[in-house]
Every structure is written in C-alpha cells, then in structure tokens.
Structure 1
C-alpha cells in the first residue's frame, strides 16, 4: 500500500508575521545659543537652564536624507523641549507628530569646581556628563539609573510603534538618543546606518 503524504496548509486568511519597521533616532537642529563663552560652574547651570528652554537657530535647512525618512515614516515623535519641537516642525512641514516628555535629554548638572575655573560650555557639558554617568552626581535631578529606566520605556514605546509595520522617527537629543539606542541594541535591534551625534544627524535601527 502506497504511503500517503499529508501537507498542512495555513488556515484561510492566515498571513505571514509582519516585519517591524525601522526606528530612526535623530538629533535636533542647532540651538539658538552661542557656546563661544567662558564660564564657571554656576555660569554653566545658568547656560544649561537657557539651553533647555530655547528653540533652534533660525535659517537652518534640514538635511534632505532626514527629510525623506520623516516623509516616509508612519509615526514621528519629538521630546517636549522647544529645540526638539521646532526641529520636528521643520521636518514634518505641517504633518502631525507626537511630543512626549519621556524623550527629553538627561540632566547635566556640572561638577562643583572652584568658581575661578572657567571653561567653555562644551567642556562643562563633557565634565557634567562624566560626573553624572560615572560618579552619580545629579544634584537632586534624575539619576543615571532613573534615566536608564526612562530610556528603556522610551525604547519599548518606539518598538511597539515599529511593530505595527511602519518606520518610526524620533527627533530628540544627543545623549538620551544614545541611551535609547543602547536599550534598542539590548533588545536585538541593530544599527544599520549612523551619522554620529551632531545636530540633525540620525541613526537607523532595524531588527533582523
């Protein structure tokens, strides 16, 4: 008696698993504040307070590649900081986007060096990030552990949107985007394109 071969077919209406879209993390445009000054630690606290409320320098032209990603994305997010919102406005050109505080930059309280030490804001920013990241210097603001937890939640939100099958763009901040990127990689997402962390730069993540 000949052996019979049974082939199981998919149920009617069944579809293949949907591949998630890409996640693009982009930094905001150049802020409307000069870094060409020399200030002490207290001066840097005042500088950062202004930086946090200002928008971007007028007259900037967004990169065409980033414009293209935003135009094709299913969803666009920004943080609630003005520089992030104005970047989103420049790129979306009237299209709706979702602004959420979960994406704001991690804090940058400077180390309490003597007042006679004067440095540029860029150097203060570097020192503040080192003190915050490695020495837990936070001055009552968000700690590294708290920021990492927030980055995890932000990554999960972006992944949930991407799993609907469309690309997602976040227009936010340099260091917190880095932290979100770490959280994405821990979840199996890979960087397939990177422009670094300069203003208007982007990194594209995909899940294999």
Structure 2
C-alpha cells in the first residue's frame, strides 16, 4: 500500500536520482525496511535485551512495509545488488528488486552496540534503546565508539564495494543503520563523496556516494 510518507519519498528520491548517471562508479547504501518483529515482553532486563536482539535479527521485514517507488526504480538500474545476510536486509533487497540475483555477505551486518552494564534494573525496550544510543553517543565524543574488529570489518566492506563499483559502476548495498554510518565514513576517507542522504536514518533511506574521479 502506498502511504503519504512513501509518496513524498518517491517524489524526493526521483528528483535526486534523475540527476545521476548510473554509468559512473557509484555506491548506494540503503537501510533495510521495517522489521517484522514485534516486542511483547514489556519491561526487560539486560538479558531481555539480548533475547530481543536475537529475535530481531531472526525476523524479516513487515509484510505491509513497501519501499518507495523511486528507490525501486533506482535499484533497478544497479548493475550489482548486495545485502547483509541478516533476514531483514536480504528480504528488503528482494523487495526492492524482485527476481534479481542478490549477493549476501556477513560483512554488511549491523554493528552490535554494547548493552550498558550500569543498568541492572528492568526498563521498557524504548528506554533501553535510548540508554544504548546515549552511551554510544558519549563514546563517539570520546573517539572510542567502535571496537577495532568493527572498524576493520567496515574497512573490508568499503574495499569490497569500491572494487565492485570500479568494475561494474552502480552498486546497491542493503545494510543497517549504525553500520552504514561506519561504512560511509570509510568511503569518505577513501575520497568518495556523499551526493545524497535522503531521509537520513529512516527505513528505506538511501545514501549515495560517487568515486573520487567523479567527485573531483
């Protein structure tokens, strides 16, 4: 079903994407659609958060959650489509490009943020999410937001996508919110330039990067 939000997203994305030449080396980083998992446990402790993560990672995309038409049309022009091997990302890729071959890789999985050890009590899931992201934000300010292994994974994923884009032009990669930030940083560090970050961090949002040669 086409919602008002999706209709607006279609118009905005269409305007942005029409400006772009799909033959140039480009990488589009797409956040997956809305998860099908519904939390029903109420107030939970840290162990409950871990259980929620396991259930969230095992779930696909909500049946009624449709990607914006402009994004579908843009992904149709991609020469290669890749996705995280977690179900919500893989299912999103298939929803964006029905019938197309989707390459999956654990390199594109979500970054697992640390659960605060200083919260021994039970809280609603939304409160846990706020605490986890506040802790992460504090670590970002201190320059220690990402474990070394996650930094290395983001670098490896960026190298892989850059190599594919240089050979095959337009690459669409369906990944996750936090990891996309890490991946985007690595691309910028390699000289790639963000040309579009429509709809910021929402589901189905797309960040597009052009190669250093095109950015110059």
TM-score interval, normalised by the smaller of the two chains: 0.7 to 0.9
- Quote the residue 1:103 is aligned against: 108
SS of 1:23 mapped into structure 2: strand
Distance 1:180 1:126 in 2: 23
- Quote the residue 1:155 is aligned against: 158
Q: How does 1:20-99 map to 2 (within 5 A)?
A: 20-34=24-38, 37-99=42-104
Once the two structures are TM-superposed, the CA of residue 45 in structure 1 deviates from its matched residue by: 1.3
Structure showing the higher helix proportion among its residues: 2
TM-score normalised by structure 1 residue count: 0.80
- Quote the residue 2:125 is aligned against: 120
Distance 2:44 2:122 in 1: 8
Consecutive unaligned residues of structure 2, counting only runs of 5 or more, are 1-22, 141-145
**Number of equivalences:** 183
Aligned partners of 2:82 and 2:102 also within 8 Å: yes
Distance 1:38 1:135 in 2: 26
Once the two structures are TM-superposed, the CA of residue 134 in structure 1 deviates from its matched residue by: 5.7
Aligned partners of 2:27 and 2:209 also within 8 Å: yes
Aligned partners of 1:132 and 1:144 also within 8 Å: no
Distance 1:189 1:53 in 2: 33
Moved more, 111-120 or 95-104: 111-120
Once the two structures are TM-superposed, the CA of residue 27 in structure 1 deviates from its matched residue by: 0.4
Write out per-residue CA displacement over residues 17-68 of structure 1, whole angstroms, 9 at most, x where no aligned residue.
xx85111000000001235844332221111111111111112211112101
Once the two structures are TM-superposed, the CA of residue 70 in structure 1 deviates from its matched residue by: 1.0
Distance 2:135 2:119 in 1: 15
Moved more, 48-57 or 36-45: 36-45
Match of 2:179 among 168, 176, 179: 176
Distance 1:108 1:46 in 2: 14
Distance 2:119 2:76 in 1: 49
User: What is the Cα-based RMSD across aligned positions, in Å?
Assistant: 2.2
SS of 2:196 mapped into structure 1: strand
Consecutive unaligned residues of structure 1, counting only runs of 5 or more, are 1-18, 137-142
- Quote the residue 2:16 is aligned against: none
Query: 1:146 aligned to 2:132?
Result: no
TM-score normalised by structure 2 residue count: 0.77
Higher CA-based Rg: 1
Distance 2:118 2:51 in 1: 15
